[in-house]
Amino acid sequence: MPGVPNTFANASGSIPLSQLDANFNTTLTIGTTSVGLGNTISTISNVAISTGSVNGSPVGNVTPSSGAFTTLSATGNVTVADGTVSVPAIAFTSDTDSGVYRIGANNIGVGVNGAKVLDIGTTGLGVTGNITNANQVITASNASTALEINHSGSGQQGLNLNLTNASYAGTAFYINTTRAANSAFDLVSVQTNGTNRFRVSGTGYVIAGANPVSSVSFHQFITEVANGNTAFAIVSTNTNKYTMVAYAVDTEGYSGALAASVWGYNSTTGRSINAGGTINASGADYAEYETKNASCGPVAKGQIIGFDVFGKVTDKWAEAKSFGVKSTNPAYVGGDAWGSQEALGKLVPVKPVEPKPLSDAEEITPEQRTQYAADLAAYELAKERFDAALEESRAKVDRIAYSGKVPVNVSGAKVGDYIIPVQDGDGIGGIAVTEPTFEQYRKAVGQVRRLLPDGRPEIAVKVG
């Protein structure tokens, strides 16, 4: 080339860079990167290749063959077509109808064998079919509902828990909360058409049925049935017989005195209990509450008493027209109406439920504390007045034995003797007589069956 001191074509040795063809020193731009002689460029940016190959793999507008890329990475978005449930946008060469596709705006799905199994949207996750993997954990933060199952099909079960391991020894259904015990929320709530049908309160009480009749401070079984209709039943599928049936009643009428259980009654029949067999009790006599007259003092168990002209209990000999013995250990007691709410004219007070924080991090408000203190003070006052009225009413009655066996406060008796009431000062005492006269027999309160360890006789009660 004229004017060029050295060219590659005729070089026989080293050529100084300054003597090279000037055109050889011109820079070349590839993409947005200038590359010249002596550059140490290792990265070239923004290169557009419309067709061709890199290391033997087609690129550009040429569709790569299967397995052409082993790794694909990007610093921005990789976009694909929406796809469908039967032809997902991202699928597998050996399973083309299973993969991920776009259902709609902010909504993606996962299909398997051409059918949707997962629906993921802004409101949560929808699952079609069974969840069979072990140790499933669902975590929800700041959400009103952690897990919701909507069943709109024609199947029978909305939620079906099957334990197929015969040796399973764990808990089939377990719910736990870290909240402090509180009646302001329900640990479990089962509803139909928006109405509570079964609840477990935050304080651990079970409420079966709608509309509790009082504060949730005890277990409740609630039915909305009319008087005389079945409210609850226990039946054996083995015998096909009812063990127990509870019917709705319209009247309470029971005493407010402490007891293991109380039963109301049907006002039409006046009945509380119908038993198909025996009713067994540990007591030894049948007694009834009888009203004491105004002058009668306290009566001890086993004491002989009299009945005055008005049929009231007396401890005065001069007032007695007939005689009896106070019960010691009754199996059954009648006339127990003196302590009923109707007789007292007062309702049994219900203790208020103490408010508690909804969580360990919260505290009850000063207003709640003030209201609870006022409610508790009102309850304690009402309870004090009720107990006083109950005791005042109780002091006006006593249990008198009418059948069975009772101890009698008499000494010197032997088996077979009759216990005859006698005057003891102004009061009433008793003596043991082996062969009573007819008049004595008429007054006798019973015949001795055995002597007790303390020497007193136990008699078979005779009503005179």
Kindly state the tokens that stand for 392.
């005042």
Query: Do 389 and 405 belong to one domain?
Result: no
Q: pTM for the whole thing?
A: 0.59
Query: Do 326 and 417 belong to one domain?
Result: yes
Query: Do 296 and 390 belong to one domain?
Result: no
Round to whole Å and give the CA distance between 301 and 406: 9
Query: Do 363 and 461 belong to one domain?
Result: no
CATH number at residue 299: 2.40.300.10
Residue 95 located in a structural domain: yes
- pLDDT of residue 28 exceeding 80, the answer is no
Round to whole Å and give the CA distance between 185 and 183: 5
Lowest mean pLDDT among 40-54, 71-85, 326-340, 416-430: 40-54
The DSSP 8-state label assigned to residue 18 in this structure reads G
SS3 381: helix
Residue that wins the pLDDT comparison between 158 and 339: 339
Average pLDDT over residues 128-138: 64
SS3 208: strand
Query: Do 104 and 33 belong to one domain?
Result: no
Residue range of the domain that includes 106 = 83-123
Kindly state the tokens that stand for 105.
């705006």
Nearest to 443 by CA among 297, 294, 305, 302: 305
Q: How confident is the model at residue 343, as a pLDDT?
A: 84
Residue 255 located in a structural domain: no
Query: Do 333 and 343 belong to one domain?
Result: no
CA dihedral defined by 217, 221, 223, 226, rounded to 10 degrees? -90
pLDDT digits (tens, 9 = 90+) for 344-370: 888 888 888 777 665 555 677 889 889
Residue 107 located in a structural domain: yes
- pLDDT of residue 172 exceeding 80, the answer is no
- Give me the percent of the chain exceeding a pLDDT of 70: 71
Query: Do 463 and 401 belong to one domain?
Result: yes
- pLDDT of residue 213 exceeding 60, the answer is yes
Q: How confident is the model at residue 185, as a pLDDT?
A: 65
Phi, psi of 294 (to 5 degrees): -65, -25
Number of compact structural domains in the chain? 4
Query: Do 380 and 302 belong to one domain?
Result: no
Round to whole Å and give the CA distance between 107 and 261: 58
Residue 111 located in a structural domain: yes
Average pLDDT over residues 33-43: 58
- pLDDT of residue 320 exceeding 80, the answer is yes
Query: Do 408 and 464 belong to one domain?
Result: yes
Residue 267 located in a structural domain: no
Q: Can you list the positions of beta strands (E) in 31-185?
A: 33-35, 51-54, 57-60, 90-92, 95-104, 107-112, 115-121, 124-127
Residue 187 located in a structural domain: no
Which conformational region is residue 228 in: left (phi greater than 0), alpha (psi within -120 to 50 degrees), or beta? left
Query: Do 322 and 413 belong to one domain?
Result: yes
The DSSP 8-state label assigned to residue 375 in this structure reads H
pLDDT digits (tens, 9 = 90+) for 106-116: 999 999 999 99
Contacts for 85 with CB less than 8 Å, ≥ 6 apart: 101, 109, 111, 114, 115, 116
Kindly state the tokens that stand for 43.
């990265």
Residue 434 located in a structural domain: yes
- pLDDT of residue 3 exceeding 70, the answer is no
Residue 90 located in a structural domain: yes
Query: Do 329 and 405 belong to one domain?
Result: yes
Query: Do 324 and 423 belong to one domain?
Result: yes
- pLDDT of residue 256 exceeding 60, the answer is yes
Q: How confident is the model at residue 69, as a pLDDT?
A: 55
Q: How confident is the model at residue 125, as a pLDDT?
A: 77
- pLDDT of residue 225 exceeding 70, the answer is yes
SS3 386: helix
